[in-house]
Structure 1
Amino acid sequence: MLRKTLKNLQGPLLAALLAGGAALPAHAETLADTLVAAYRHSALLEQNRAVLRAADEDAASAIAALRPVLQWVAGYTYQNVEGIDGYSASIGLQAQMTLYDWGRNAIAIDIAKESVLATRAALVGVEQDVLLGAVQSYLNVRSAMEQVDLQENSVRVIGQEQRAATDRFEVGEITQTDVAQADAALAEARANLATAEGDLQIARESFRTATGKPPVNLSPPPPTPKLPATLVAARDIGRNTHPLIQQARREAAAAELGVAAAAAERNPTLTGTAGISRERSRSVNGFGQTSTVEGGSIGVDLSQTIYSGGRLPSAHRKAMAQRDSARSALLNTSRQVDEAVGNAWAGIDVARAQIGAIDEQIAAAQQAYNGVREEATLGARTTLDVLDAEQSLLEARANKITAEANLQLAHYQLLSAMGLLTVENLKLGIPTYDPSAYYNAVQDAPFTSRQGESLDRVLRAIGKD
């Protein structure tokens, strides 16, 4: 049922993002264009991709622990015994390998893999944050532009009222007080326009930060994405899809393995060693003697910690506490996702109700403004009455701009809360970062030239060469 719901949502997501720009000129920038730009520009995504590659290397290091370690050793010794000088020089190869450790390395590998999967989920969470920030910056610019247009129109209308008041004062129809009220209203409108223009500049800078370029000819927002039928369905999707829950699950699994790893530290370790060496020595006296010795060795060692001063039991208890912490974190994250879904759902309902009420307010305020203005021409209303009516209409229109932006944002906040605000789910049609490519290249801890060349190709593909 959940998969069917997700599948039904994905198509409308794409349509909602692209429909707004389908009938616009080619140079208009849609919301989809903004999301693509933010995804490609984000330094935060690059940072967390590097964090993921570091986690991939941890998995490679855990696998490498099962392999032999080969090293060369060279030494030189000088000594003087009873006036006789002597020296020796040696060089050799030594190899060491853990033959059996009763499961410690295997558990370490599993922990590293769970950490990789948790880090991948965290990367998806960062992607959602980046895209939601891009949506918000896009809507902020659009709203700020509409507010500037609204305030410019207000300055124009109040300017006309101010000029009309001045004319009426000159013919003796009104007093100087009425003119002063019109002057004050015009000054306030100009101040509000300056504030709106400042807000627009701030919104433009936020857009530039999110996308790497200034906003140019932003198209109107597209139709809002299709939502699940009920809040319960939306929460079910969030619990199964949200990257923070996926991350918390993997971290809880890793913590569970950590308890087993701490217990396994008490097990014995069977180690194999092998080596070859060549040593040359010479004693310098009246005759001088030189000798060369070549040799090899192979052996096995079995060791186990009998007493650690309490360190191993303490590490075991710590691992159990970390496991309990991870389990609680998973529960808390699930509750937070439920809350975020509920808040976004409520935000949509509130914004819709506000828009409906504000539409009625605008209609009534427009009618009142027209009536007051007509009555003012007949002398039944003062200039202040006209200005108050105009201000009420202006505030209603400004509130609608804010409510419409809030409705759009709440829809994308709900997508984010459900774990669906990703490039893949939105079907933006661009190449995306493959989190498994680097892992596949390093999972065997490559060392040979052929494997190294393959890794170089992966790095070039993700732009890190």
Structure 2
Amino acid sequence: MVGRAAQSGDSRRRLLSSGICLGVLTCAVFATSMVRAESLPEALVKAYQTNPQINAERARQRATDENVPQALAGYRPQVAASLSAGLQAVRDQLPGNVIQTATLKPWQIGLTVTQTLFNGFKTANSVRVAELQVQSGREALRNVGQGVLLDAVTAYTNVLANQSLVEAQRANVAFLRETQGITQKRLNAGDVTPTDTAQAEARLNRGLADLNAAEVNLAISQATYAQVIGNAPAQLQPAQTVDRFGPRTREDAIGLAFREHPAVTAAGFDVDVASTTIRVAEGSLMPNVTVQGSVSRSRDSDPTLGTFGTDQASIIGQVTQPIYDGGTAASQTRQAKEVAAQSRLVLDQVRNQAKTAAVSAWVANEGAKIAVAASESEVKAATVALAGVQKEAAGGQRTTVDVLNSQQDLITAKARLIGAQRDRVVASYTLLSAIGRLDVKTLNLNTPDYLPEVHYHQVRDAWHGLRTPSGQ
């Protein structure tokens, strides 16, 4: 009777397996015909183009570009026009107590042009500071771009992993449900005790809880995917690693992080900004030389004046030497020196952080390779073990709980393999980010690279205009 029950169970399992495979194949064909599968590079392109975080950083960089024309304005003349007009009531008392009144309408128009010839090199140094700020901002933008792309990779692989976990848990629930049914029939036939059916029911309920948890995690990862990528995930293709773009050794990873990571290069530009700011502050202690030209015309209708109008033109040169300003310039100079010292220390700190991140990413990537290989072997061994336990249970050598434990070992191994495969992909991209090469150009993504220098050259030498290059 046990043999017939086992044969019946094997037949049901084969039928159920065939039905599941047929259903999965049908759904896959239908999904392929309806929605084209999205690959990881395509998802990265969408994130690079539409992610609000990176677009906000690009807008910040365009605003930083405007510091340069503002600094260059110190080389250019300042032109001001003036116009005054009004009514003036006049009451004159003449000899003999004669009172004369009049309503006058005086007006004046003028134009003044002021040109700075020398201001202690403040303009030149201010332009240098603005240009260095632009360079630092570009590196900060590149760093944000790396973070967005890594977030996109993480969101993509999380959805893939959670989808696989949901399918694995569904298969586990189907197996446990079938096991419970077989155990119930064997109980009715007197082959097992009620304890076996209780154990099978308990494992089924645990499987249902695990399936629910996997479905919750999938829904959360799908929401995160939509936030980072810009659209809800549909059918996703398996993700591939990017080891071909990474460093060959750990020493190479550290060296590249020191030289190319955008956080390090941005901190280097910040040191230059702080050092140049010292010279800007010192310029306040030096003389200023300006030349001013002006023309004006005024008219006055007062009949008591000898003239009714005046036309003037003048050119005036002026030299101003600060002697004492209460200590403001001296304090600003000392402050700038301290800021420069701070920026050098920050650069050392960022370099150390880059080294630590590179080493961590390298070790994690190498460890992920080992974890995948070990998990694959574990799944194979657990599959063989489950098949053996099932055969032994059919021969009466194993109990129901042995089968349930072996199935639990298999589903745990599959979950570990899914997580290891996900970590393997993320680790390869993390290593690429740690050396500063997680960008559109390195990944060869099918999208134009955002070039911040285009906007910079559009506004650098602009003398006027309120509209941005985008027309706003």
Does the TM-score normalized on the shorter chain lie above 0.5? yes
Q: Does residue 311 in structure 1 map to residue 320 in structure 2? A: no
The answer for the alignment partner of 2:68 in structure 1 is: 59
Structure 2: segments with no counterpart, 5+ residues: 1-31, 94-100
Q: Does residue 193 in structure 1 map to residue 211 in structure 2? A: yes
Tell me the distance in 2 between the aligned counterparts of 1:289 and 1:146. 100
Tell me the distance in 2 between the aligned counterparts of 1:105 and 1:446. 16
Q: What secondary structure does 1:282 align onto?
A: coil
The answer for the alignment partner of 1:44 in structure 2 is: 53
Greater alpha carbon shift after TM alignment, 162-171 vs 221-230: 221-230
Tell me the distance in 1 between the aligned counterparts of 2:326 and 2:400. 90
In the superposition, the TM-score normalised over structure 2's length comes to 0.86
Measured after TM superposition, the shift of residue 163 of structure 1 is: 0.6
Tell me the distance in 1 between the aligned counterparts of 2:90 and 2:327. 46
CA offset digits 1:131-166 (Å, max 9, x no partner): 111111110111011101100110011111111110
Q: What secondary structure does 1:308 align onto?
A: coil
Selected match of 2:343 from 326, 329, 336: 326
The answer for the alignment partner of 1:129 in structure 2 is: 147
Contact 2:253/2:435, CA 8 A, preserved across alignment: yes
Measured after TM superposition, the shift of residue 212 of structure 1 is: 1.4
The answer for the alignment partner of 2:419 in structure 1 is: 402
Measured after TM superposition, the shift of residue 223 of structure 1 is: 4.4
Tell me the distance in 2 between the aligned counterparts of 1:293 and 1:248. 59
Structure 1: segments with no counterpart, 5+ residues: 1-23
Tell me the distance in 1 between the aligned counterparts of 2:241 and 2:57. 32
The answer for the alignment partner of 1:387 in structure 2 is: 404
Q: Does residue 245 in structure 1 map to residue 245 in structure 2? A: no
The answer for the alignment partner of 1:172 in structure 2 is: 190
Contact 1:239/1:245, CA 8 A, preserved across alignment: yes
Contact 1:64/1:445, CA 8 A, preserved across alignment: no
Q: Does residue 294 in structure 1 map to residue 303 in structure 2? A: no
Q: What secondary structure does 1:135 align onto?
A: helix
Contact 2:105/2:300, CA 8 A, preserved across alignment: yes
Tell me the distance in 2 between the aligned counterparts of 1:128 and 1:412. 10
Q: Does residue 108 in structure 1 map to residue 126 in structure 2? A: yes
The answer for the alignment partner of 1:447 in structure 2 is: 464
Q: What secondary structure does 1:428 align onto?
A: coil
**Shift in CA distance, 46/359, structure 1 to aligned 2, threshold 3 Å:** closer
The answer for the alignment partner of 1:9 in structure 2 is: none
Measured after TM superposition, the shift of residue 81 of structure 1 is: 6.7
Cα RMSD for the two superposed structures: 2.2
Q: Does residue 354 in structure 1 map to residue 363 in structure 2? A: no
Contact 2:274/2:339, CA 8 A, preserved across alignment: yes
The answer for the alignment partner of 1:3 in structure 2 is: none
Measured after TM superposition, the shift of residue 231 of structure 1 is: 0.5
Measured after TM superposition, the shift of residue 340 of structure 1 is: 1.1
Contact 2:119/2:289, CA 8 A, preserved across alignment: yes
Selected match of 1:70 from 72, 79, 90: 79
| Structure 2 residue identity aligned to 1:233 | D
Measured after TM superposition, the shift of residue 369 of structure 1 is: 2.1
Selected match of 1:30 from 12, 16, 39: 39
Tell me the distance in 1 between the aligned counterparts of 2:106 and 2:309. 9
The answer for the alignment partner of 1:149 in structure 2 is: 167
Tell me the distance in 1 between the aligned counterparts of 2:417 and 2:446. 33
Identity of aligned residues (%): 31
Contact 2:271/2:347, CA 8 A, preserved across alignment: yes
| Structure 2 residue identity aligned to 1:393 | L
Measured after TM superposition, the shift of residue 403 of structure 1 is: 0.8
Contact 2:84/2:107, CA 8 A, preserved across alignment: yes
Matches within 5 A, 1:328-343: 328-343=345-360
**Alignment length, in residue pairs?**
430
Measured after TM superposition, the shift of residue 75 of structure 1 is: 2.3
Measured after TM superposition, the shift of residue 72 of structure 1 is: 0.7
In the superposition, the TM-score normalised over structure 1's length comes to 0.87
Measured after TM superposition, the shift of residue 114 of structure 1 is: 0.3
The answer for the alignment partner of 1:280 in structure 2 is: 299
Q: What secondary structure does 2:317 align onto?
A: strand
Measured after TM superposition, the shift of residue 55 of structure 1 is: 1.2
The answer for the alignment partner of 1:412 in structure 2 is: 429
| Structure 2 residue identity aligned to 1:414 | L
The answer for the alignment partner of 1:259 in structure 2 is: 278
Measured after TM superposition, the shift of residue 218 of structure 1 is: 0.9
Contact 2:241/2:428, CA 8 A, preserved across alignment: no
Matches within 5 A, 1:419-438: 419-438=436-455
Measured after TM superposition, the shift of residue 40 of structure 1 is: 1.1
Measured after TM superposition, the shift of residue 379 of structure 1 is: 3.0
CA offset digits 1:264-314 (Å, max 9, x no partner): 210010011111111122337xx7987111111210111122111121111
| Structure 2 residue identity aligned to 1:344 | A
| Structure 1 residue identity aligned to 2:280 | A
CA offset digits 1:154-213 (Å, max 9, x no partner): 001111111111011111122222111111111111111111112111111111111211
Q: What secondary structure does 1:65 align onto?
A: helix
Tell me the distance in 2 between the aligned counterparts of 1:311 and 1:81. 51
Contact 1:148/1:197, CA 8 A, preserved across alignment: yes
Selected match of 1:229 from 231, 234, 248: 248
**Shift in CA distance, 48/145, structure 1 to aligned 2, threshold 3 Å:** same
Q: Does residue 140 in structure 1 map to residue 140 in structure 2? A: no
Runs of 4+ in 1 over 4 A off after TM superposition: 79-87, 287-290
Tell me the distance in 2 between the aligned counterparts of 1:288 and 1:323. 63
Tell me the distance in 1 between the aligned counterparts of 2:394 and 2:445. 56
Contact 1:95/1:273, CA 8 A, preserved across alignment: yes
Q: What secondary structure does 1:91 align onto?
A: strand
Q: What secondary structure does 1:306 align onto?
A: coil
| Structure 1 residue identity aligned to 2:156 | Y
